[in-house]
């Protein structure tokens, strides 16, 4: 595990060792293997590994890799695909790289010595927060391996091994899992579902932000109170959805959660800004630690999965506001019949009444133009300006890559709220199945 307690000092040491002087950026030269374009990569020496994701502006070949930062002894090394390192030379383009800050976008190399990102951002930099978030990136990468084991054990019905694994752990996570209220039912399948769900939730808690985590908790309380007041209606609703749908969509969401959490390190500059781009000059600054492709694929798959699971929120709203999952605002009474009326899944999602307890953030986030453009391969990306153009048959939308990453983060948070509701429904479905 890396130590981020003295990150200020470390930045200078590593820069000094590399260049024989105290400086915070290091220039390395790489040549595109396809067209020979030369890049000067100006690395803002940081404390954590720095993912690289950009494309050659000339031949559009994707260039990706990682700068591994070693603390003892302080040093770093590049591993980048589709380019080869060359000695110091006349570069065509210069690109800043930083694991912590948004950076100047790629421009023709003007050989100017701009202030490094750290100094440009020094007024906004909170060293303790940086250390905390870097630590989180390390923790999440370790947790992701365990999430896979926990998920597989549950999905393969190996409940005894799951329990043994969690019992054998002595960390904070295991302690939190042992303190879970209202979880023990005595049915191994149900209790293991709760354990594996909570294990994943606690593992990715820091990727969600406190607001989303409190929404999950408060909706779980609303759910509990509905279960107290309308148990029969809630059980009927769970049965009408069916265990297979609940299980399938929960698993799809877990796959997506793992995919988003895997991008955490690439999204560090945005986590450090609390996903607030208002103080950023998006014309000059952008992001080079995460590429458009994984974000766009995430968006499309999350969009589909949210739409496929939105019935859960619709029925819960009906119960919360009108005491019956079959009862709609317009007086219509029959859940299955109402759901059949919608030709488009996203139109169904938009039927959620705004301001009802379980409507929370789903509807406004679902953008058909962005989703369709992925399906029909009609998004365009300008590698220099980092402007993404999404286009479908009726509309065109433009946004910077950093803005699109923020949109993906919102979709991710909303999906996690829905994921928790799916879990609650699957849990009561299983209880009813075992003990009718
Ligand atoms: Zn090229």
Å from CA of 260 to ligand 1 middle: 29
Å from CA of 96 to ligand 1 middle: 18
User: Hey, which residues does 93 pair with through a beta bridge?
Assistant: 39, 108
pLDDT digits (tens, 9 = 90+) for 57-67: 999 999 999 99
Does residue 94 or residue 341 have the better pLDDT? 94
Question: Would you state the pLDDT for residue 114?
Answer: 73
Q: What is the DSSP string of 91-149?
A: -SEEEEE-SSS-EEPPEE-----PPPHHHHTGGG--HHHHHHHHHHHHHHHHHHHHHHH
pTM of this structure: 0.91
Domain boundaries, the chain: 7-123, 130-208, 212-434
Q: Could you give the CA distance from residue 179 to residue 282 in angstroms, rounded to a whole number?
A: 45
Å from CA of 83 to ligand 1 middle: 9
Q: Could you give the CA distance from residue 210 to residue 208 in angstroms, rounded to a whole number?
A: 7
Does residue 44 or residue 321 have the better pLDDT? 321
Å from CA of 78 to ligand 1 middle: 18
List, in order, residues 6 or more apart from 240 with CB less than 8 Å away. 315, 325, 335, 336
For 52, list phi and psi in degrees, rounded to 5. -125, 130
Å from CA of 389 to ligand 1 middle: 22
List, in order, residues 6 or more apart from 43 with CB less than 8 Å away. 25, 26, 27, 28, 50, 67, 76, 96, 97, 98
Q: Is residue 6 very low, low, confident or very high in pLDDT (cuts 50, 70, 90)?
A: low
Å from CA of 77 to ligand 1 middle: 22
Question: Would you state the pLDDT for residue 8?
Answer: 54
pLDDT digits (tens, 9 = 90+) for 210-241: 889 899 999 999 999 999 999 999 999 999 99
Query: Which whole number is the average pLDDT over 293-316?
Result: 92
Helix, strand, or coil (residue 335): helix
pLDDT of 22 higher than 50: no
Query: Which whole number is the average pLDDT over 380-402?
Result: 90
Q: How many CB atoms lie within 10 A of CB 307?
A: 19
Consecutive H or E run containing 69: strand 62-70
């Amino acid at each position: 595990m890396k130590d981020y307690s003295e990150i200020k000092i470390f930045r200078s040491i590593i820069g000094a060792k590399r260049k024989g002087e105290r400086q915070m950026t290091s220039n390395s030269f790489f040549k595109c293997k396809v067209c020979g374009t030369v890049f000067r990569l100006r690395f803002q020496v940081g404390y954590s590994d720095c993912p690289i994701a950009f494309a050659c502006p000339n031949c559009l070949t994707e260039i990706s890799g990682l700068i591994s930062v070693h603390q003892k002894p302080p040093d770093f090394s590049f591993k980048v695909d589709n380019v080869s390192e060359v000695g110091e030379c006349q570069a065509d383009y210069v690109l800043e790289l930083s694991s912590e800050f948004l950076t100047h976008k790629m421009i023709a190399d003007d050989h100017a010595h701009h202030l490094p990102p750290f100094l440009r951002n020094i007024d906004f930099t909170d060293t303790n927060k940086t250390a905390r978030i870097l630590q989180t990136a390390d923790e999440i990468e370790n947790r992701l391996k365990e999430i896979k084991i926990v998920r597989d054990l549950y999905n393969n019905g190996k409940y005894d091994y799951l329990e043994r694994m969690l019992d054998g752990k002595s960390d904070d996570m295991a302690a939190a899992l042992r303190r879970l209220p209202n979880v023990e039912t005595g049915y191994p399948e149900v209790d293991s579902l709760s354990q594996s769900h909570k294990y994943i939730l606690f593992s990715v808690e820091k990727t969600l932000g406190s607001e989303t985590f409190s929404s999950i908790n408060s909706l779980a309380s609303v759910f509990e109170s509905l279960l107290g007041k309308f148990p029969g209606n809630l059980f009927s609703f769970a049965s009408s959805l069916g265990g297979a749908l609940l299980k399938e969509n929960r698993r799809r969401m877990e796959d997506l959660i793992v995919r988003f959490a895997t991008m955490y390190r690439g999204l560090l500059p945005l986590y450090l800004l609390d996903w607030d781009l208002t103080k950023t000059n998006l014309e000059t600054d952008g992001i080079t630690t995460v590429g458009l492709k994984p974000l766009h694929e995430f968006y499309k798959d999350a969009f589909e999965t949210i739409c496929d699971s939105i019935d859960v929120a619709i029925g819960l709203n009906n119960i919360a506001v009108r005491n019956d999952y079959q009862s709609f605002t317009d007086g219509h009474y029959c859940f299955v019949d109402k759901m059949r009326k919608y030709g488009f899944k996203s139109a169904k999602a938009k039927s959620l009444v705004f301001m009802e307890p379980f409507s929370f953030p789903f509807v406004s986030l679902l953008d058909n133009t962005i989703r369709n453009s992925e399906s029909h391969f009609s998004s365009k990306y300008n590698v220099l300006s980092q402007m993404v153009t999404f286009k479908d048959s009726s509309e065109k939308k433009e946004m910077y890559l950093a803005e699109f990453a923020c949109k993906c983060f919102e979709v991710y948070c909303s999906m996690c709220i829905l994921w928790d509701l799916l879990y609650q429904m699957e849990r009561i479905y299983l209880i009813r199945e075992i003990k009718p």
